[in-house]
Amino acid sequence: MDRKELEQTISLLIDNLVNLDDPEGKYAILLKDGRKIDNKNFNYW
């Protein structure tokens, strides 16, 4: 793997981690009181 390919791979990894999205709520945590916590994206920060 050359430097350019490594940099592209790292950039893709960072982009995927920063832009996590779960529009269907598939990975949300349901609490007993009915609240849903979405812990897979940063849209609520």
* 12 vs 4: CA distance, rounded Å: 12
pTM value? 0.54
Q: What's residue 3's pLDDT? A: 98
The model's confidence at residue 44, banded by pLDDT at 50, 70 and 90, is low
List pLDDT tens digits, range 1-29.
899 999 999 999 999 888 887 778 788 88
Q: What are the φ and ψ backbone dihedral angles of 30, each rounded to 5 degrees?
A: -90, 125
Q: What are the extents of the domains in the chain?
A: 3-37
The model's confidence at residue 30, banded by pLDDT at 50, 70 and 90, is confident
List pLDDT tens digits, range 33-43.
988 887 766 55
